[in-house]
Structure formats: C-alpha cells, structure tokens
Amino acid sequence: MFEPQAEPRLFGMPLGVDFAELLVEGLLARLTTKPPEALAKVEIYVNTTRMQRSVRRLFAARGARLLPQIRLLADIADDPTLDVPPAVDPLARRLELAQLVRAMLEKDQTFETPDAAFDLADTLAALLEEMQDEAVPFDALTKLDVSDHSEHWQRSQKFISLVIPFLEAGAELDRLGRMRAVVEALRTSWATNPPSHPILIAGSTGSRGTTRAFMRAVSKLPQGAVVLPGVDFDLPPDIWDKTGKDDQVEDHPQFRCQRLVDELGLSFDEIKNWAPRTVPVSDARNQLVSLALRPAPVTDAWLDEGPSLPTPTGATSAITLLEAPSTRLESLAIALRLREAAETGQTAALITPDQTLARRVTAALSAWNIVPNDSAGYRLDLTPPGRLLRQTAQMMGKPVAPETLLALLKHPLVWANNRRAHLATTRHLEMTLLRGGPPVLTKSACQRWAEDRETEDAGTLAWHDWLWSTLDALTAAQQSDLGAITQVHHDQTERLTRGPGDDETDHLWQKRAGEAALATMTKLHLASDHAGVFNPTEYARLIDALLAREEIRDPFFTHPDIMIWGTLEARVQGADLAILAGLNEGSWPAKPAPDPWLNRDMRKQAGLPMPEGKIGLSAHDFQQAISAKEVWITRATRDAEAETVPARWLNRLQNLLNGLQPDGIDALRAMKERGDAWIRLAQDYDQPRTELPPAPRPSPQPPVAARPQELWVTHVETLIRDPYAIYARHVLGLKPLKPLHAEANAALRGDVIHKILQAFISEFREELPANAEDILLRQAERFFERYVSWPATRAFWMEKFARAIPWFIQTEAVRRANASPDAFEADGARHMSAQNFMLKGRADRIDRDADGALVIYDYKTGQLPTAPQQKHYNKQLPLLAAIGAANGFEGFPSGHVKEVGYIGLGSDMKHARDVFEAGEIDAFWDRFEQLIGEYMEADKGYTARRAVFEERWDQDYDILSRYGEWDRTTEPTKLRVGS
C-alpha cells in the first residue's frame, strides 16, 4: 500500500475535516489497484469505540466488500499471542493497596481518616499505572530529593518506598503495564520479523507513553503508518525552535504532535497530509485560531501576523458566542438550538466535559421528547439498582433512622411485583409511626404498630417480619472480611426487591443497569480475597466509588442526529453543528485533580507528565471542535456560587479579535449578537404564555356553623396574629405534616425541661430537700439522656440548664412561701354559652395558697413575652386564669385565681408575676367573649397575617394563602366560602 521509505511514515489530517470519512477515503484510494482481499489484511488501530463503529459504518456504506481489521488501541493489553503474564485485576490491586494504606492511616491520620483508605488506594494505583505506562521504574520515587519539601511529601515518599517492594515481589503487571510489555515485545519481534501487511494507527496523538511507543514502532514498519488528527498545518515550522521543548509549552494544542515528531527524528513540516486535496471547512478560521493559540512565549506574533490574516468577519461568520447570565439559560439556549437542528435535519453535537451541564440540556430536551445519543451514558450509581445498593450499604452497621428507612421503602425496586400494597403499608407506617417519632426506629415499636394494623389489613405482620429480617441483617453488620459483608449486602438488597413472598424474580438485576450492577457486585466478590477486613462505613464508601465509575449506555430510542460527546469523542468525529459548551476555567479546561502522593516538582524529577499536559489535550480538543461547519461557543458568566472566568482559549480569541481593529471588533460583536438572540429566546421561553394576576390577600368567610367551636389557649395568639391559620387548621382541617427527621429544636428542649421540673416538684411537693440542687441536677441528667438522642446537643442543653438550677431552687423557696404545688399539666376548659364556644387550656403548674386561691405558672425555656406582647397578643396566662376563676380545672374547685406568672429558664432567668385586681379577670373574659363573638359573625373574615410578630415570621399556611404574591400592605379580600 505504501512505497518503501527510510523515514518513519507520519501522516496528519488538517483541522475542520471529517477524520473518519477521510480516513476511509484515503485508505480505499491507496488500495484502488490492489485485489479485494488486500483490504482484509489491513489492521487499523483507533482510540475509541465510537470511532471504531464510525469507520465500520463508513466502509459498509460504500457497498459490499471485505473489511479491514479495526481494533482499539486499548485492546493491545489483551493480546494473548505473546509470552507476557496476564494483568492483575485492577480492583484486586486497589483492594490490596487499600490494606496497606489503611495500616498507614491508622498510625498517621494526617493524610486522611482510615475510612478513606480505598479512595487513597485508588489514587495510588493510578499513579503506579501511570509509571508503568511511561516506563518510569518504581524505584525512581524512592530516589527523589524531597529535603526541601514539606513533611507531608516526605511521609508520602516514605510510604511509597514501603509499598514498592510489595509490588515488585508480586511481579504482577497492571493493565497499562501489560500493555507496555506487549508493545515492547512487538517492537522486539518486529525488529527481526516485521509484518508485511499494512498497519495504521489513526486518531491518537500519543498522549500516553505506551501509545506513543506503539506509534513509533508502527511508523517504522515497511507498511506501517500513523495518521494524526487535527494537525495545525498553519503553524510555522520554526515555532518550536523559538519556544524550546520544555514543559512551558505543554499546554499548546499541537505539543503532543511535535513531541512525536521529535521522537521520530522528523520535523513538523514533514507531516504529510493524508488527504492532500481535502479543503477544510474554513482556512481563514483555522489561521485565526492557530494564531490565537500560539504558545505564550511567542504571542508577539499577533502584532506581526495578525494584520495579514484573512478578514475576521468571514473567519467567524459561522461562530456564535453565547455568554448566558446563568447555567440555566445556557443549557436552555443549547437545548433550543438542538431542537432546531433536529427539526431541520442537521447533525448536531454538544461537546462538553461538564456532565452536569450535559444532564441539564438532556432534561430540557425531554420537553420535546428528544433523547440525545450521549457518549458518556449515565452513571450506574444514579440508576435505580445503583441507588438501592448505595442506600442499603449506607444502612449497614447503623441504627434505623426514620428518613433513611422511608427513602428505602419508597424506592421503586422494593417489593417491585406488588407496589400498590407495599406503598399503602409504607404510607400508613409513615403517618402513624415515623413522622414525629424518635430519631431512631426500634423493632419493638414497629412490631406494636404492625400488630395494631393487622386487624384492619391482614398481611401487615408478614410485611413487618420481611422488612425487619432484612434490616436486622444490615444493621448487625460489623467489621469483617470483605467477602462476607459483600454477600450480606448482595443478599439483603436482593431480598428487599422480592418482597415478603420471596418472589423468584430478581428485579434488582434486570435491564442494562441491573446487569451492570450485578457485574460490579460479582467483581467485588471475586476480588474480596485481596481485601482483608472492612467496617460498614468503609464498605459504603467502597460501594459508592465502584458504582460511580461504571457507566451505562443505551443507544436505543435516541435521536440519530443529536449527540452529546465528551472531548475525546469529538476529536475524530464531525457534525454539521458543534456546540462547545461550558467554556469556563475549571470546567474546560478542568482543574488538575489533587494528587496526595506527588507534587509538581516530584513528578518532574521522576519523569512523569506535568499537569499542563492535560490542559494541552483540552486545548487540542478545543482547536478541533471549533473547526466544524457551524460552531457555538457557550459559557455562563455566573454559576451557583460566583462570577466565572472564561476559558483561556476563548479569552485569547477575544483578545486577538479586539486587537484586529476594526474588523476584529465587528466580528466579535456579530458573534455575541448571534448568541444574545438565542439568550433572549431562552428567556422568552421561560416566561409564562399568559400573565396571571397575583393572588389577593385572603380573608375567607366560612359559614358560621363551620367555624371552630373550641380553641386551646395557645391558639388564641394565632387567632389574633394570623386568623387565616385558624381557618386552615380548624375549618379546612389541614394540619402540617410532622417532621420525618427528628430535630433537637426548642420545642423538644422545652418539653424535656417540663418533664424534669414536673418530676422534681411532684417528688418534693411538701418540702424541698437540703441538697435540692444536686438532686435536680441528677434528675436532669437522666431525663436528657432518655429523651435527647444527640450527644453534643444533650451536653449543651444540660450545661445551660445546670446554670439555671441554683436560681430555680432559690426562687422556688419564694414560690413555696406564697403557695404550695398542687397540680401539673392540668387540663381545664370554660364554656361560652352565648357563642356555644369552648376554650381549653393546660396549665404547666398550679399552686394553691392557704386560702384556696390558685397561682398558675407557665415554664418558659425561651424568651419571655414582653409587656406589649402580653397586652396585645400573648393571652395564654390570663386565659388560663379565666378558666381557673370559673372552676374550669377539674379537681380544683376555686373561684379565685390569685396570680399567674412565667418561670423563665432560658438565657434570661426571670420570674414574671401578674397579680389580678378584683374584677380584672372578668373584664378580660368579657373582651375575649367579644373577640369570639366577632368571629361568629358571618361577614367576619379570617385575614391572613393580620398582625404577625415580624415580617419574616414564617407560618405553616403561608403557601396556602400564597403569601409573597401579596404583602402586609395589600388590603384583605373577603371571600365567601362554603354554602
């Protein structure tokens, strides 16, 4: 196929061409005079599976013929024909390293906690694989000079020095190490017995050391050749002589091509064009971008060569620059353009390394039933099987929290064959036991619930037994061999999906996601012999890591012309429209991943690639993608946290255009105007088609018969401040859901302190003991231990209450001199005959003096209400006094309430008293009757937020009243409701 030549055979394809199409055309053109079987002898190595499929499809489109052997470069590592030992299982290697890392972390936790052993082992394994790929001996790390580095890097080197002998003793190669060994074996074999058939390497730039070594070997074969993608033929040949060959230019897009050229003993201008008669999409654009991306040391060429460039307006006529004010608008504008492409028959590709942005665009496209063909697929840990495996792993070895259990029970795969019955039982459990319950659910409490419900729903006990047999196995997990804990996790998760009847169908392992999840669990089980012991927390992190790295691809039912590519897939494929999205620093190019083992200087000493190498790869991806027929460049000027910084290549392009006055400025303005038009379209899409008027401030007027006939004294303040809340709760019967997650809030603290004081005063009703403070302190410790499940909160609350104990005991002696304790948590009521209304109340404590008069106390653990608040809103104590004055507290006959008071046990310890004058309680009750009487009038409305304490005072029913569409300045609108 090729004429003999002494030099290595190196080809390239220019920017702005369809690489796969021209590769096939060039190959067929070179075999025109050869017999049909000659094509079948050709070996082609490509770098991605998508490229492999594209080349096969292009050959098939040209009619029936024998096809070449199209292989992946990565498959070299699996070559079974050479005498190279098989590669070690990568998971087994990481688990072995995790044991060593865990031992290190247990002795020195300055790196991380022991739970992070697998994460650190993963980064260490990646480092060791990189060393094998670059042919850097392991002992090179032990020879590094780290005397001038911090103690962290010295500890890192010391640990690696201990790991290396373990690896060398095993003499097992990682996959990349075996690939390197295979390449070396092939090169040795080819030196004496080179293959006679053509071998091509197409689409790779040799960014990896082993790939580059293979490319060097193939290029020197009699019928071997390398075809580079995206070669910038507009780059002056002497550019590299001016900049040198060190790492200062590694971030240039053509650096990898130049490095391969140097290693082959060639010069950059000796790269031959694989398809010399091919015309790029836009020579002018290629020249503009080439100049914009010149290495930093020679950007002075902008002044010399910029004026001689073709007209910038023509070079950028097919480029749209979209700088959206938010990621939401960026993704929506992209989706709108992809929708247009689908309607007009264009092939369009969204190219971005930002998977979050890609998911946003996919979600937006779903509005028009467009499912893009995403090369990245979707992560296994986000699929239903992956989520369920993560949920059950995170429950292992821990108590059952209500919110965790409810999330598990509502997973769509749990009891998948009878979801209706399962969800009905789950709903009942949630509403009667989980919400408002303790922070930890016990089996005994759930057993009692199941027994109570069994009478009305047979099967509840069987459901309970199935659930808790699984939960018991998960929560009982302890530190053990990885194989054992993996088996428990596998079996119990599977049992959850089968339900109480142990259905034979394995719902967990169905479809592509289920098959991938089963394969992952199987690999973990097979590799568990290399792992040692894991505790449940370490195991949960391991499961998260393993599932997150697996990707699921389902090419069915996707749109054939709308693609989402990573930057790797975009290198050698073409589309009518290329959308380069997320072009911000930190996204494209991405920030270098933190390396806990080697810093920059250590990598350079060891001969490992610098971080700039990855930036250079991203630059090459950008240069190729921007050469498409039509190009969109998009970014968001602000993300969720702060202003963003445009990608360095976009910044360079804009700076160059701004310097090419006046045409460059006009070209840049036109690019932005095209983008702004789509931003306006996206903003308009987000606007409602019809503008609805804001909701009025409601003041509903229900029928008098439907209005509440009784209230508790604690609801009277709500009636005064926010009558709408009374309407919603007592007329509509709407009650806010109790929280699922128990919180250590002020209500809980107050409730516990009430219990402490009630127990103490009840025990010493007659006389306080001499050591009252110590006794109360010990009682408080017992109650806080029983009712407060959070250790830190318990300690804080206990310390705060302990400071109040001396004051409480001292003031209690004064209270005892006034009256004696008689009742606690006493319920009472008073009927209002004129309105047929009942007021109910509960007194925290009632004392009785020698004359039989009552003294009513209310414990306050927060701030005491101020005098103005008590005058206008807070009527709790006077109302309790009114109930007591009417003998409303059962068992406490007395027509006289002497006084009421608050006992403040919060930050402001205070005993606030209110002594009543003759007739004062009766006058207060008359005013209260008048208030209730007004609300028994048909035209009286329950106005929303009539007199709230402060504007930010959130209420349970603000959403129902649509607060926010109106404010306190809005006049209430009376609304007749009901019949």
Q: Say which range, 148-162, 729-743, 870-884, has the weakest mean pLDDT.
A: 148-162
Task: Find all residues with CB under 8 Å of 636, minimum gap 6, and list them.
Answer: 323, 324, 325, 326, 327, 329, 330, 582, 584, 644
Quick check: 691 pLDDT over 70? yes
Q: Which residue has the higher pLDDT, 709 or 171?
A: 709
Q: Which of 771, 786, 750, 723 is nearest to 858 (CA)?
A: 750
Alpha-carbon gap, residue 838 to 551, rounded angstroms: 64
Confidence (pLDDT) at 142: 84
* Cβ atoms of 115 and 538 closer than 8 Å: yes
Of the pLDDT bands very low, low, confident and very high (cuts 50, 70, 90), residue 740 is confident
Alpha-carbon gap, residue 122 to 164, rounded angstroms: 15
| Strands of the 272-273 sheet, one edge to the other | 69-72, 43-46, 199-202, 224-231, 10-14, 272-273
Q: Say which range, 200-204, 249-253, 732-736, 937-941, has the weakest mean pLDDT.
A: 249-253
Mean pLDDT of 95-104: 86
Mean pLDDT of 679-699: 90
What number of CA atoms fall less than 13 Å from residue 44's CA on the CB side?
A: 25
Confidence (pLDDT) at 247: 57
Q: What is the three-class DSSP state of 161?
A: helix
Q: Which residues pair with 426 in a beta bridge?
A: none
Q: Say which range, 201-215, 247-261, 921-935, 957-971, has the weakest mean pLDDT.
A: 247-261
Mean pLDDT of 601-622: 88
Quick check: 47 pLDDT over 70? yes
- Apex CA 36: angle with CA 33 and CA 42, to 5°? 90
Quick check: 894 pLDDT over 70? no
Q: What is the three-class DSSP state of 333?
A: helix
Q: Say which range, 262-271, 441-450, 833-842, 867-876, has the weakest mean pLDDT.
A: 867-876
State the amino acid at position 104 in one-letter form: M
Task: Kindly report, residue by residue over 560-599, the tens digit of the pLDDT.
Answer: 899 998 887 777 677 899 999 999 998 988 888 888 888 8
Q: What is the three-class DSSP state of 837?
A: strand
Quick check: 246 pLDDT over 60? no
* Cβ atoms of 715 and 726 closer than 8 Å: yes
Q: How many percent of the chain have pLDDT more than 90?
A: 55
Of the pLDDT bands very low, low, confident and very high (cuts 50, 70, 90), residue 920 is confident
Q: Is 38 exposed, middle or buried (0-12, 13-18, 19+ CB in 10 A)?
A: middle
Q: What is the three-class DSSP state of 832?
A: strand
Task: Kindly report, residue by residue over 320-376, the tens digit of the pLDDT.
Answer: 999 999 999 999 999 999 999 999 999 999 999 998 999 999 999 999 999 998 877
Locus of tokens 């990189």 = 130
Confidence (pLDDT) at 169: 57
Q: Which residues pair with 69 in a beta bridge?
A: 43
Confidence (pLDDT) at 947: 85
Confidence (pLDDT) at 160: 83
Confidence (pLDDT) at 951: 66
687 phi, psi to nearest 5 deg = -80, 145
Alpha-carbon gap, residue 589 to 353, rounded angstroms: 8
Mean pLDDT of 392-407: 94
Q: Which residue has the higher pLDDT, 171 or 634?
A: 634
Confidence (pLDDT) at 612: 80
CB atoms within 10 A of CB 634: 28
Average predicted confidence (pLDDT) for the chain:
89
CB atoms within 10 A of CB 478: 11
Confidence (pLDDT) at 566: 83
Quick check: 672 pLDDT over 90? yes
Alpha-carbon gap, residue 436 to 580, rounded angstroms: 50
Confidence (pLDDT) at 380: 92
Confidence (pLDDT) at 674: 96
Confidence (pLDDT) at 555: 65
Mean pLDDT of 503-517: 87
Quick check: 172 pLDDT over 80? no
Mean pLDDT of 306-326: 93
Mean pLDDT of 311-320: 93
Quick check: 112 pLDDT over 80? no
Q: Which of 297, 234, 291, 228 is nearest to 256 (CA)?
A: 228
Confidence (pLDDT) at 64: 87
- Apex CA 506: angle with CA 500 and CA 512, to 5°? 145
Q: Which residue has the higher pLDDT, 868 or 475?
A: 475
625 phi, psi to nearest 5 deg = -70, -35
Confidence (pLDDT) at 245: 55
Of the pLDDT bands very low, low, confident and very high (cuts 50, 70, 90), residue 170 is low
480 phi, psi to nearest 5 deg = -160, 180
Q: What is the three-class DSSP state of 326?
A: coil
Quick check: 59 pLDDT over 80? yes
